[in-house]
Chain A
Amino acid sequence: MNTVKLIEKAKEAGIETLEIYIKKASKESIKIYDQKVDNFTIAQSGGIALRGIYEGKLGYCFLEEDSDENIDFCIRHIKENAKAIESKDMVMIYEGSKSYPIVEVNKEIEKYTSADKIEFLKKVEEKAKEADPRIVQVMETMMETQKSETRIMNSLGLDIVKEEEYAVFYSAVLASENKDNKSAYEIRVIQDLNQFDLDAYIEVLKEKAISKLNAKQVKSGKYPVILKNEVMCALLQSLSGLFSGEAAYKGISRLKDKLNEQIFDEKITIVDDPLKKDGYSTTPFDDEGVASFTKTVVDHGKLMTFLHNQKSAAMMHTTSTGNGFKSGYSSSVGIQPTNFYIEKGNVSFEEMIQKLTCGIIIDEVNGLHAGLNPISTDFSLQASGYLIENGKISRPINLIIVAGNFLDMMKNVQAVGNDPFEELSGIGSPSLLFDSLAISGE
């Protein structure tokens, strides 16, 4: 689309300030099944999202058909949507930061062709199948490579571009013994295929499936529980809205009045670091063009700041923390954490286990979208893991429910592990030990 013409026409139509957000991405995904390429996908995608200030209100519109013929459609909808807004919230389009941090994009994966990736995946599948006789099927082995460019420009003169590139792969296996099935998968970001420690990966994948075979329930009751790093990440991810400045000023975050107060155990420190080297959510600026910077959100249990975009910052009389992100190019700008993690402690996973005479490790939870109330932070989740007896893992556990309240639970943390894990979203946490959570089983 001719952006100069678009800005001109918008001005003529009374749209004072216009922002043009352009996303272009290409993707390749390869799926291997039974040593054959089961699926191969190549894609080019993109879109243009527009925000314009008209009569003091912000109107949105988006397009995937990149043609000058759509200029009138856009202008009409920006105006109509702006007119529909009744909220008295402040609106603004950002003129840009003074300078932007430089973020390195790792492009190692570009060395490899589709054929190299297919070879790699076949090797993964083969090794997974051979890892143990109880692995009866490798259900899917897949790699996805994505490259994207985001450009933000506006009628105030801002014009910035960032590149992102990543490759992830995973393999999913089905293990079976005595008619008991257990599936498991392990997903990893990969940069250099030749440097990747495949044997270590296969060992993790195998253990995830095999160690849970013939799992049974435990008796219902309250138990000391170790929430493994991956589970903590999943909880933190689902509850990251607690730290949203928008949820705070709208009064729908339970932390709304808790700024500068002790909200968690003093063993807990949480950092949002968009500049982390090779972080999964590393970025030089957010979707409003605000330059990224690192901040401590929770300092030894004390809430130091909410995460803000332009609007929530203005509503709470502060400045944006550079956390204004869209969930997709066409969405409105919400608030998202970047590389957001609980800092690691100094207790090893083994030491946590040794502390318990009778307890439970939970290393998998399901149904977070339903079993966790993001507002009250009550959760009641299908889970599996292991029973600990006399400081040792005694057997696997399956089909139990772990229930509690996140905010209450985080006020009393017995130990913080030294085993940080980072999810693909950039959310990270070590394993944590809690003295009592409700478990439902037999």
Chain B
Amino acid sequence: MLEKNQLHELLELCVESGGDHAEIFEEKKYSNAYSLLNGVVENANSGIVYGIGIRIFHGNESVYAYTNDTAMDNLRKLAHDLAASIHEEKKEIQFELKEVEYENAHPVKIDPTGVSSDQKIAIAKKVSDAAMSFDPVIQKVMVNMMDEKQEVAISNTEGRYIRDTRTRVRLMIQAIAMDQDKMETGFYGPGASKGMEFFDEIDLEEAGRHAARIAKTMLYADECPSGTMSVIIDNAFGGVIFHEACGHSLEASAVAKGQSVFCNSLGKHIASSIVSAVDDGTIQNAWGSSNIDDEGNFTKRNVLIENGILKGFMVDTLNGRRMGMPSTSSSRRQSYKYETVSRMTNTFILEGNDELEDMIKDTAYGLYAKNMSGGSVDPSTGDFNFAVSEAYLIENGKIIKPVKGATLIGNGADILMKIDRVGKNLQRAQGMCGASSGSIPTDVGQPAIRVSSMVVGGKE
């Protein structure tokens, strides 16, 4: 990693031709990944991602450069070339780099980079065996296990110099159930910003069975009927609806240029009054947490919606300039190869007062979406879609049968108003979120909610 005096020299070069703020993001990430098919290790890969990203602001615009050739001569040239793309008068910028010391809020007990591959593989096998032995229809089980340790050092021309180490582990389990020509899958992917202790804390066999159970249930499910109906979306990964339908439209990258449906909605009712939601990057050891964001600011718990009223956006420094708002420590990126921008961390709807059972009882005809796979949204219109990986049909207040192939579509602004029940069973689940600054770990979450009417697509 670069020394403080080297960073200082580079930062000074960055602002030599009119930039008003410069930042250097240096990263070294160690990672290991193992993939197993039916309990047999098929692939193992390890490596180091290393490089730096340099960003210069001039007013509301930015320029960015990245490289993995960190010899000082190359870096000087890169900083100079980048600075030269700005043609303004040099500003008076004086700074001294001072390291910000703090206590790690996400302690790791067992550093995965120090654990042998045998031990990691033994964990993955236990999960795989549990899924395989769940039922004879489970004929393929793919388990991927990853661990990574990302060391970052962020410095800028305000004199900030701060470091963080983000350790993450995750299991991704895919079970395939087959019967003659039929084939269905089930997925479960638990993870955390923790070390190997995470695998002692969760029930590994249950994790394997979870994926297998979904696959088996769906194998014998009928096709989902289509039409407009009430939809109950259960907790945990069900929160992907909020992530897609609302979260992305509350990111400053969409809001700053007037490209979000929620641009002028601050302080207004954008959701049913029983809905409150937050983005919280501080939750201890959560998958989407870190001590600092990728601009070096301490993460926060940001209230997005309170009792249906829009309270805030997720803001990064540059978009904050455009919006006249301070950063909410929401700036994130996959790696030094991406310019950092406002993103979600752990985003979820807060608990309400309803019981899931009562929601089902009070639904004459509808869909109970127990597990989701994923979806996407157009932030400029709010139109979204997501797929249901485990669903059941409700008739006269009772679950009558599993159904497969359901997709839910709608418009974020519209759906938020139609949430008429919010449950008590809040849970979060792990995912990877892709956007302009790459693929990053995020938690989605919610208690069970009911949307009074939604378009459900299926083959029947």
Contacts and interface: CB of A to CB of B under 8 A. Distances in A.
A40 B384 CA distance: 30
Contacts of A369: 374, 376
Given A370-B385, A401-B409, A440 B455 contact: yes
Given A63-B48, A181-B380, A382-B409, A399 B42 contact: no
Contact of B404 (A87, A371, A378): A378
Contact of B41 (A61, A65, A87, A438): A87
Contact of B411 (A42, A399, A402): A399
B297 interface: no
B409 A370 contact: no
B393 interface: no
Contacts of B455: 217, 399-401, 440-441
Given A85-B41, A376-B183, A401-B407, A45 B51 contact: yes
Nearest to B184: A376
B64 interface: yes
A84 B385 contact: no
B421 interface: no
B381 A181 contact: yes
A251 B142 CA distance: 13
Contacts of A277: none
B459 A183 contact: no
B47 A63 contact: yes
A220 B226 contact: yes
Interface in B378-409: 378, 380-381, 383-387, 404-407, 409
Contacts of A37: 61, 63, 85
Interface in B40-57: 40-51
B66 interface: yes
A330 interface: yes
Interface stretch (A73-81, A294-302, A346-354, A419-427): A73-81
B61 A36 contact: yes
Interface in A374-432: 375-376, 378, 380-382, 398-405
A47 interface: yes
B48 A73 contact: yes
A373 B404 CA distance: 11
Contact of A64 (B50, B118, B385, B459): B50
B68 A44 contact: yes
Nearest to A29: B64
A251 to B, nearest CB: 7
Nearest to B372: A370
Given A61-B45, A61-B47, A64-B50, A378 B69 contact: no
**In which size bucket is the chain A interface?**
35 or more
Given A139-B259, A375-B176, A401-B226, A60 B44 contact: yes
B67 A87 contact: no
B232 to A, nearest CB: 18
B307 interface: no
B337 interface: yes
A3 interface: no
Interface string A161-193: 000000000000010000001110000000000
Interface in B245-295: 257-259, 261
Contacts of A63: 47-48, 50
Interface string A41-73: 111111101000000000111111110001001
Looking at chain B's contact residues, is the secondary structure mostly helix, strand, loop, or mixed?
strand
Contacts of A332: 43, 45
Nearest to B64: A41
A107 interface: no
A303 B380 CA distance: 42
B159 interface: no
B82 A42 contact: yes
Contact of A440 (B46, B185, B404, B457): B457
A87 B37 contact: yes
Contacts of A47: 68
Interface string A357-380: 000000000110111010110101
A217 B46 CA distance: 49
Contacts of B226: 220, 401, 403, 438-440
Contact of B407 (A41, A62, A217, A367): A367
Interface in B72-95: 74, 78, 81-82, 85
Contact of B405 (A45, A46, A251, A378): A378
B321 interface: no
Contacts of B69: 44, 46, 66
Given A183-B380, A375-B176, A80 B339 contact: no
B458 A438 contact: yes
Contacts of B405: 373, 378, 380, 403
B68 A382 contact: no
A84 B121 contact: yes
Interface string A279-317: 000000000000000000000000000000000000000
A81 B46 contact: yes
Contacts of A36: 61
A87 B40 contact: yes
B80 to A, nearest CB: 11
A438 B460 contact: yes
B67 A39 contact: no
A82 B372 CA distance: 36
Given A217-B455, A370-B375, A381-B407, A81 B63 contact: no
B143 interface: no
Contacts of B410: 399
Q: Which of B384, B385, B457 has the most chain A CB atoms inside 10 A of its CB?
A: B457
A42 B378 contact: no
B227 A40 contact: no
Nearest to A438: B459
B161 interface: no
Interface in A309-359: 330-332
9 contacts: A42-B65, A61-B45, A84-B117, A330-B45, A375-B176, A382-B384, A401-B385, A403-B458, A442-B228
Given A61-B46, A86-B40, 10 more contacts: A40-B63, A45-B67, A46-B69, A87-B42, A174-B380, A220-B227, A250-B140, A254-B181, A367-B386, A399-B411
Listed from nearest, the 9 A-B pairs whose CB atoms lie closest are: A401-B457, A382-B385, A440-B226, A62-B47, A370-B374, A81-B44, A440-B457, A380-B407, A370-B387
